[in-house]
Amino acid sequence: MMELGAAGAILEYFQKLPVENPSFYFFVFQFDIDDLMTNIFWADARMIEDYDHFGDVITFDTTYRTNDHERQLALFLGVNHHNQTTVFGAALILDSIRFLEHFQMVVDDRRYSETMEDFRTTNSTPEVIVKCEILKAVVTEYTPTIFCIFQDQFESSIFQVLTLKRDEGCIRVYEVGTSKGAWHTITYDSLEGNFTCSCCMFEYLGVQCAHVMKVHVHKEILCMHPKYILKRWTRDAKMGDIVDSTGNIVDVDPKALQTRRYAILMSVYGKVANIASEHDKVFKDCYSREIRMTQEVMHEIKSLGVKMPNPAPQSGASENVNEVHGQTSSTQQ
Ligand SMILES: [Zn+2]
């Protein structure tokens, strides 16, 4: 159990958090029969949000200990859409305040890594090494890290050999493998569009394996069924409201919310840019619509009485329009 002085200091630490950190949301203290604090569990709004998006897999890490090895900090951990470790919550067992600050540093460090990866995701698209429809269809869906795993599986499938073992109409059973490696059994239900493989990679990782991809290529199926593209691995993994266990929508940290909105919009516009830039007419139509939409957004911001983030976008924008239209016109001539 905890000394009264340490317990008071911890209470003070948590009482300060709502002011210093508006995202702080939930904590529980556990007391023993003598009313002495023994354990604390806490999670802030961002942790609850991350749990909502990525809570399909949880690990309980009790390896964190104080220097005297007597006090324990247990972390509830998961994996985000970039395959990075993320924190869902923490339990402090017979601990001191010194360790809370260390914990906050660990959380801040992991969130910084995620923000950097979000930024990289928003501003880049991985190279599609094998130019095929099945990869092109997911390159802007998956985060870069997961796309690379997917692409590695596809490359591996090129070297696999496929044989049909059983044909029962809409159910076909294949064996896929290499002469030197293991062979796996794939069952394909063409009626439901279901694939199962004995390697169970999709069940473990949430990304389809090389063996299933081999069947896709063999059957000339050009894209993976949406049910095999798990939202938790996509660029849109964090879209949608977060609801807590009582059914209430969680208010997240305003800065985190703004970052999330920005990432969502960039993801949407990134997809549009990717498609529209391939065709001159589609690009010009899209660009005209974008100019109109920018004006409408400016009008809406003005009507809401919100201060404009950029007071003079018009002149720069119109110069760009002339420049881009000039280039496209000369291309057509
Ligand atoms: Zn497999």
pLDDT at 176: 96
185 CA distance to ligand 1 centroid (A)?
Answer: 8
Residues 6+ apart with CB under 8 A from 150: 135, 138, 142, 207, 208
190 CA distance to ligand 1 centroid (A)?
Answer: 17
Ranges in the chain, pLDDT < 70: 1-11, 15-26, 32-37, 65-71, 94-97, 99-101, 241-257, 259-260, 307-333
228 CA distance to ligand 1 centroid (A)?
Answer: 13
Q: Which 3 state secondary structure label does DSSP give 69?
A: coil
267 CA distance to ligand 1 centroid (A)?
Answer: 30
243 CA distance to ligand 1 centroid (A)?
Answer: 35
212 sits in which H/E element: helix 210-218
53 CA distance to ligand 1 centroid (A)?
Answer: 26
244 CA distance to ligand 1 centroid (A)?
Answer: 36
- Angle formed by the axes of helices 254-276 and 97-123, nearest 10°: 20
Look-up of token digits 């997809």: 271
How far is it, in rounded angstroms, from Cα 57 to Cα 147?
20
61 CA distance to ligand 1 centroid (A)?
Answer: 30
* pLDDT tens, residue by residue, 89-110: 888 775 446 766 677 777 888 8
CB within 5 A of ion ligand 1: which residues?
A: 184, 197, 199, 209, 211
52 CA distance to ligand 1 centroid (A)?
Answer: 28
CA 155 centroid distance within chain: 24
How far is it, in rounded angstroms, from Cα 236 to Cα 260?
10
213 CA distance to ligand 1 centroid (A)?
Answer: 9
176 CA distance to ligand 1 centroid (A)?
Answer: 8
78 CA distance to ligand 1 centroid (A)?
Answer: 24
197 CA distance to ligand 1 centroid (A)?
Answer: 5
The answer, as to whether pTM is greater than 0.85, is no
151 CA distance to ligand 1 centroid (A)?
Answer: 14
91 CA distance to ligand 1 centroid (A)?
Answer: 38
pLDDT at 47: 86
Q: Are 93 and 75 in contact (CB under 8 A)?
A: no
